[in-house]
Amino acid sequence: MTHTGDFGRRITHHRTRLDLTLEQVADRADMSAGYVQYLEDHLGTPDMGTVTRLAGALETTVADLLGGGRDRPPGPGPAMAEPVLEVLEPEECLRLIAPGGIGRVAFQGSYGPTVLPVNYKLHDGAIVFRTAHGGPMDKDLRTGLEGVEIKIGFQVDRIDEAQRAGWSVLVQGPAHHVPDDELATVTDAEVTPWAGGERHLYIRVVPHQITGRRIHGL
79 domain residue, yes or no:
no
> What pLDDT score does 1 carry?
39
Q: Domain containing 51: what range?
A: 6-65
77 domain residue, yes or no:
no
174 domain residue, yes or no:
yes
Q: How many domains does the chain have?
A: 2
Alpha helix ranges (H) inside the chain: 6-17, 22-29, 33-41, 48-57, 62-65, 90-97, 136-140
78 domain residue, yes or no:
no
- Same domain, yes or no, for 48 and 98? no
- Same domain, yes or no, for 98 and 205? yes
164 domain residue, yes or no:
yes
74 domain residue, yes or no:
no
Question: What is the CATH number for 136?
Answer: 2.30.110.10
- Same domain, yes or no, for 17 and 102? no
| Residue 65, Cβ density class (10 Å: 0-12 exposed, 13-18 middle, ≥19 buried) | buried
Per-residue pLDDT of the chain (218 residues; tens, 9 = 90+): 345 678 898 999 899 988 999 999 999 999 999 999 999 998 888 999 999 999 999 988 888 888 876 666 666 666 667 788 999 999 999 999 999 999 999 999 999 999 999 999 999 999 999 999 998 899 999 998 888 999 999 999 988 766 678 899 999 999 999 998 999 889 888 898 888 888 999 999 999 999 999 988 75
- Same domain, yes or no, for 141 and 198? yes
Quick one: how far is CA 160 from the chain centroid? 12
- Same domain, yes or no, for 60 and 88? no
181 domain residue, yes or no:
yes
Phi and psi of 93, rounded to 5°?
Answer: -60, -45
Q: Distance between CA atoms of 7 and 9, rounded to whole angstroms?
A: 5
3-state SS assignment for residue 143: coil
70 domain residue, yes or no:
no
Question: What is the CATH number for 61?
Answer: 1.10.260.40
- Same domain, yes or no, for 57 and 150? no
- Same domain, yes or no, for 144 and 199? yes
> What pLDDT score does 142 carry?
92
Overall pTM surpassing 0.85 (yes/no): no
